Structure formats: structure tokens, C-alpha cells
């Protein structure tokens, strides 16, 4: 019997993680639900439990209106049916941005566009125009002066990597190399990230017993069963990490390195048919709990230990209208009345509050001056940062160089806006730090304390 628990203890851990510097855990919201609550109720549930990142599979106007003023970071979706038209027409892309993004910003904090869902494997006939569609959307964002705030990417499944283990030898399916190369070049040029749908549930259930279920569920393995890449000797404590690393190595095989990965979907079904014995409440609870603990440690997989694995759980509600096996309908964290399918243990790190270590937003040392100048102009203009102190003759004008002025403007914007979803990115030219830059004369004088 499924115990319905109050959501308070369940998703508090998500609110903790969302406020941790670096990694976050978000939630997907699907709509194939026979008793889908009104958008205002969905947002009320999300806000009540301090979930700060959600992904929509479309650009539903009711949800986008209901999210206004919440500060929640929203990824909106171009549906697979829309990809062809946007890929074939720049004007269609501009119209899509105007209708589904620009019309709601800045009240609704849209930060990313997911172009299609697993296009290469789900709608391969649209693959030739996928990157063109992404370029068209990005150009429309530039025209609307929104490209600093909104990233463009496209979620892909693990199926485009035929042999993901060992990760060090993983490569993309060569039949897609041309498209994937163009995709990675786009992500690099726009400082975006690779969106990955990674499901250890399917990796395990389709693996014919090659890997133990504990490996898929983040459970520790005895020394005799450790999963080790024979080429790098990296130990993999979870299939989740191995999937992410296989994707990093696949990108590296095409000479693209350190394009960050965000896991746009992962989860575990809590109910299945008689031929789906691993879809249980116990396994789902274990997977989700340990996934949250894993992401919250703010580290990456063995090959990229310093890049956190930001992750969206699939999904908020069960989508009972979906076709397929029973498990396909039972991935939700919640029932539609707001109660939890299973309880979650509080395993996250301490929440960062106003009384704890301060976080500052500064320009990266290796950022180009042209991009810093663009970022500075945006922060002082549309970003509404107070840049009067860095004008000639004012106390923070010296040292007079683009990096220091950009750091001042970036941080002024970030301190005002991060509590309502403002990010420290500025087209990849900014980063957060816990060291107060005003303490160092080479950056700012003491008059310019943050």
C-alpha cells in the first residue's frame, strides 16, 4: 500500500539544494495527467516547497503567467512538432521567441530553451534542421536582447552513445557525427550546456544483468564488485556518474572538452507491471534520495570532478495518460492532491542563508574583453545595475580596466537579483566566489566594498 506523506519533509531537501552554490536539483512538469491541477495550483505547490528550477515540455501560457514574480528558473520547451518549422524559418523562430519568451520576461524567469526532446532518436527526420532551429532561436534572443539570460540547448538520450561503458571509450553513434558536431559547436559558441536524459533504470533493466541493481541505485558495492574503467582506473560508484562521464568522453572524442552537462531528466518509476519487478516504491525512494545526496555534494563525475551535475528529476506528477507499460505512468514524486508518493530523507548540505558565507559575482580571469564589454553594457543597461560608482571621477573608477568594471556591475546586478532567479553567467564571462574582491586593492578599493 502506498503511503501518502506530506510534501513538506519531502521537498525541503530540494529547497536546500537549490540554494547551494553550484549544483541544483530541479523538477520536470509533464502534462499527460488526467486530473492536472490548474497552473496556479501547480505553481503554489512548487513555491510552497521552494523548488527553484522547473522544466516545462512546452511553453504553456497558463504556467508561464502563473510563474510570474516567483523567481523560479524556468526551462521552456520547443515541442518536437515545432522543430521543423523553426529550423526552416528564421521568422518562425523570432515569432516563437516573441510569443513564448519575450512576452513573459522579466516577470517570469525563463533561463533556458530546450529545443525538442531526444530529437535524434525520436524524430530523426527533423535532425537535419535541429541545429539550424537552435541557431534561429539564439539569433532571435540576440535581437530581443535576451541572449545573456536565456540559453538554448536540446535534450538527447543516452541511446546516441551505443557503448557507454567503459566511459573512456564511449563515442556518439557515428551516423549522427555531423549533426552532433554542429550541435557541440553551437553549444561552445554560445556558452551553453549539453542537455542529457540519463536513466539508470533503463540502463539496468535493459542491461541483461551485466550490472548489479545497487550500482543503478547509488548503493555502495563490495570491493569485489567495484565498477572500474580499465583504461583510466576510475571507480564509478553509480551508473548515473558513468552515464554522465560517457557523454563527456563522447564529446571529447569529437575534440570538444568541458561543455558542461545538465541532466534534464532522470528518475525511477515506483510502480510497474508483473514484468517490471524493479519498478517499486522502495527502489524509487532509494534512487531519488541518493540522487539528491549525490548532486548536493557539488562535484562532477570522475573525469570532470569540478563540474557539478545540475539535475532535473522526472517528474512532479504521474502522467497517467502516457502510453506504454505501467511503469511509464508512474514516475511522479507527488499525487495531484499535493501529497508525496514516498518520503525522502534530508541528506543535503546546510542551506546558505543571509547569515552564512556571502557569495559574490565577478568577471572570469580568462574572459575576452569584447564579451566583458557586452556583459558590462547589459548589466548597466537592461540589467539595471547601479554603475554610477565606476564612472570617471567616482570612487570605484580605479583601477580603470574592463575586468574590474565588469566585476563591479556584475556583482551589483547579482546581489539585487539572485534571490529572484538572477544568475551569475553573463554569456559565460562571470563566476561566483566566496572571497570578497573588495579586500584586494588590485580589484577594488575599500570604498567599493560589495
With CA atoms as reference, report the closest residue to 66 among 37, 90, 99, 23: 37
The mean predicted confidence, pLDDT, of the chain is 86
Bridge pairing between strands 155-157 and 360-363: unpaired
Rounded to 10°, the helix 369-380/402-417 angle is: 40
Q: Is the pLDDT of residue 120 over 70?
A: yes
Residue 450: pLDDT band with limits 50, 70, 90: very low
- 118 labelled catalytic: yes
By percentage, how much of the chain surpasses pLDDT 90? 66
CB proximity list for 227: less than 8 A, separation 6 or greater: 211, 215, 221, 235, 236, 237, 242
Q: Is the pLDDT of residue 110 over 90?
A: yes
Write the pLDDT tens digit of every residue in 283-328: 999 999 899 999 988 899 999 999 999 999 999 999 999 999 999 9
3-state secondary structure of 360: strand
3-state secondary structure of 405: helix
Write the pLDDT tens digit of every residue in 157-212: 999 999 999 999 999 999 999 999 999 999 999 999 999 999 999 999 999 889 99
The active-site residue, picked from 73, 82, 118, 319, is 118
What's the confidence (pLDDT) of residue 445?
A: 38
What's the confidence (pLDDT) of residue 22?
A: 60
**40-54, 342-356, 385-399: range with lowest mean pLDDT:** 342-356
Higher-confidence position of 19 and 200: 200
- 265 labelled catalytic: yes
Sign of the dihedral through C-alpha 19, 23, 25, 30: positive
With CA atoms as reference, report the closest residue to 12 among 439, 250, 401, 350: 350
CB proximity list for 34: less than 8 A, separation 6 or greater: 320, 321
Bridge pairing between strands 360-363 and 430-433: antiparallel
What's the confidence (pLDDT) of residue 76?
A: 98
3-state secondary structure of 186: helix
The active-site residue, picked from 82, 265, 285, 315, is 265
Q: Is the pLDDT of residue 5 over 80?
A: no
Amino acid at each position: 500500500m502506498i503511503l501518502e506523506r506530506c510534501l513538506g519533509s519531502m521537498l525541503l531537501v530540494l529547497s536546500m539544494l537549490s540554494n547551494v552554490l553550484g549544483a541544483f536539483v530541479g523538477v520536470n512538469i509533464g502534462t499527460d495527467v488526467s486530473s492536472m491541477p490548474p497552473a496556479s495550483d501547480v505553481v503554489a505547490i512548487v513555491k510552497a516547497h521552494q523548488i527553484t528550477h522547473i522544466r516545462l515540455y512546452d511553453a504553456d501560457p497558463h504556467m508561464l503567467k502563473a510563474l510570474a514574480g516567483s523567481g523560479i528558473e524556468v526551462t521552456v520547451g520547443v515541442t518536437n512538432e515545432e522543430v521543423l518549422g523553426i529550423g526552416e524559418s528564421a521568422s518562425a523562430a523570432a515569432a516563437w521567441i516573441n510569443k513564448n519568451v519575450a512576452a513573459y520576461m522579466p516577470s517570469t524567469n525563463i533561463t533556458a530553451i530546450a529545443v525538442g526532446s531526444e530529437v535524434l532518436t525520436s524524430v530523426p527526420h527533423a535532425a537535419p534542421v535541429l541545429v539550424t532551429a537552435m541557431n534561429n532561436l539564439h539569433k532571435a534572443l540576440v535581437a530581443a536582447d535576451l541572449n545573456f539570460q536565456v540559453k538554448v540547448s536540446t535534450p538527447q538520450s543516452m541511446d546516441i552513445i551505443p557503448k557507454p561503458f567503459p566511459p573512456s571509450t564511449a563515442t556518439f553513434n557515428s551516423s549522427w557525427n555531423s549533426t552532433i558536431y554542429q550541435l557541440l559547436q553551437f553549444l561552445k559558441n554560445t556558452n551553453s550546456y549539453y542537455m542529457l536524459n540519463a536513466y539508470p533504470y533503463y540502463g539496468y533493466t535493459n542491461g541483461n544483468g551485466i550490472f548489479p541493481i545497487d550500482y543503478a541505485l547509488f548503493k555502495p558495492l563490495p570491493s569485489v564488485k567495484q565498477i572500474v574503467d580499465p583504461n583510466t582506473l576510475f571507480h564509478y560508484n553509480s551508473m548515473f556518474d558513468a552515464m554522465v562521464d560517457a557523454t563527456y568522453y563522447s564529446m571529447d572524442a569529437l575534440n570538444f572538452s568541458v561543455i558542461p552537462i545538465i541532466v534534464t531528466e532522470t528518475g525511477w518509476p515506483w510502480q510497474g507491471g508483473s514484468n517490471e519487478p524493479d519498478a517499486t516504491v522502495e527502489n524509487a525512494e532509494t534512487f531519488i534520495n541518493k540522487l539528491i545526496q549525490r548532486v548536493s555534494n557539488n562535484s562532477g563525475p570522475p573525469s570532470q570532478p569540478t563540474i557539478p551535475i545540475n539535475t532535473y528529476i522526472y517528474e512532479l506528477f504521474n502522467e497517467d495518460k502516457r502510453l506504454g507499460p505501467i511503469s511509464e505512468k508512474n514516475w511522479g514524486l507527488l499525487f495531484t492532491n499535493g501529497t508525496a508518493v514516498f518520503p525522502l530523507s534530508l541528506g543535503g548540505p546546510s542551506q546558505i542563508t543571509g547569515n552564512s558565507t556571502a557569495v559574490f559575482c565577478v568577471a572570469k580571469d580568462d574572459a575576452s574583453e569584447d564579451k566583458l564589454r557586452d556583459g558590462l553594457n547589459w548589466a548597466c543597461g537592461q540589467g539595471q545595475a547601479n554603475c554610477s560608482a565606476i564612472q570617471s571621477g567616482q570612487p570605484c573608477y580605479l583601477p580603470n580596466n574592463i575586468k574590474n568594471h565588469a566585476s563591479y556591475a556584475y556583482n551589483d546586478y547579482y546581489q539585487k537579483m539572485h534571490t529572484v532567479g538572477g544568475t551569475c553567467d553573463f554569456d559565460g564571462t562571470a563566476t561566483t566566489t566566496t572571497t570578497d574582491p573588495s579586500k584586494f586593492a588590485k580589484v577594488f578599493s575599500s570604498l567599493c566594498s560589495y
